[in-house]
Amino acid sequence: MIAHAIFFYVFSIIAVVSAIMVTVSKNTVHSVFFLILDFISISCLFIMVGAEFLGMIMLIVYVGAVAVLFLFVVMMLNVAQQKKQWFSSFGSSKHIPLGVLISVIIFFELIIVIGGWKYKPEVVSSIMESQSIGVSNTHSIGNVLYTDYIHLFQLSGMILLVAMIGAIVLTYRKRAGLKRQSYFSQISRERSDSVQLADVPNKKGTIHPSLLKFLMSEK
């Protein structure tokens, strides 16, 4: 029990420090790495309190997909150059006041929700009964999810499917000035269409017109 409590407080401290470093760190890539560390610490806390299903979901979904996606997006975007424009000063930036306003609204919403939150008596009794029988946490979630909330579960799956189809449609829509890769034309092209043989005189210097134009422009 003592070792369990020690590890619990260690992971809690790591999670809190990582969450602070996500917002304090000046390097965006470092912030994403701290976010991954925060997710891993929270998943370890879930596993230690007996919610192994939530811990594995946190590792697979948030660490394995969302955080890695954030990392690739941050590394592909030119965030270092835009950071001076976003956070040059508090008065000239338009993003900071809006972010502060949204943060305050979310904070008060969390206070209202947490302050008025109460468990239903039947939920508490079902949890105590499942623990007394020896049913695992994953088994209990599956029993509730696929019986009482099966319609909501299917509806959430349909919403995610529609969102995925919408993202694919928006990605493949035709836009002006955008060149797309044609796999069929690349595979089916002939050698004569892509390779041009030139008859160059022997022992005579020759230069391509585009290269000559480039050299003249450099002078």
Between CA 100 and CA 94 the distance in angstroms is 11
- Band (27; pLDDT cuts 50, 70, 90): confident
What is the pLDDT at residue 162? 93
Give yes or no for a contact between 14 and 51, defined as CB atoms under 8 angstroms apart. Answer: no
DSSP 204: -
Cβ–Cβ < 8 Å for 55, 44 = yes
Per-residue confidence band for 85, with pLDDT thresholds at 50, 70 and 90: low
Task: Check residue 133 and give its pLDDT.
Answer: 65
Burial of 203 (0-12, 13-18, 19+ CB in 10 A): exposed
* Of the candidate ranges 13-22, 85-94, 98-107, 151-160, the one whose mean pLDDT is the lowest: 85-94
CB-side exposure of 154: number of CA atoms within 13 Å? 6
* pTM, full prediction: 0.54
Handedness of CA 168, 79, 102, 111 (dihedral sign): positive
Q: Contact, 47 vs 59, CB < 8 A?
A: no
If we measure between CA atoms, which residue out of 73, 36, 74 comes closest to residue 58? Answer: 36
What pLDDT is stored for residue 203 in this prediction? Answer: 61
Give the chain's mean pLDDT: 75
Which residues, 6+ apart, have CB-to-CB distance to 1 below 8 Å? none
The total of other beta-carbon atoms located within 10 Å of residue 180's CB is 8
CA distances from 40 to 13, 45, 58, 72 (A): 13, 9, 8, 19
> Residues 25-31: what's their mean pLDDT?
79
Cα–Cα distance for residue pair 202/86, rounded to 1 Å: 61
Enter the DSSP assignment of 27. S
Where does the pLDDT of residue 127 fall: very low under 50, low under 70, confident under 90, or very high at 90 and above?
low
Q: Does residue 38 carry a pLDDT above 70?
A: yes
Task: With a cut of 80, say whether residue 59 has pLDDT above it.
Answer: yes
User: How much is the pLDDT for 212?
Assistant: 67
Residue 81 pLDDT greater than 60, yes or no = no
Instruction: Kindly tell me the burial class for residue 59, based on how many C-beta atoms sit within 10 Å of its own C-beta (0-12, 13-18, 19 or more).
Output: middle
pLDDT tens digits for range 141-189: 788 888 888 898 899 999 989 988 988 887 777 766 667 777 777 777 7
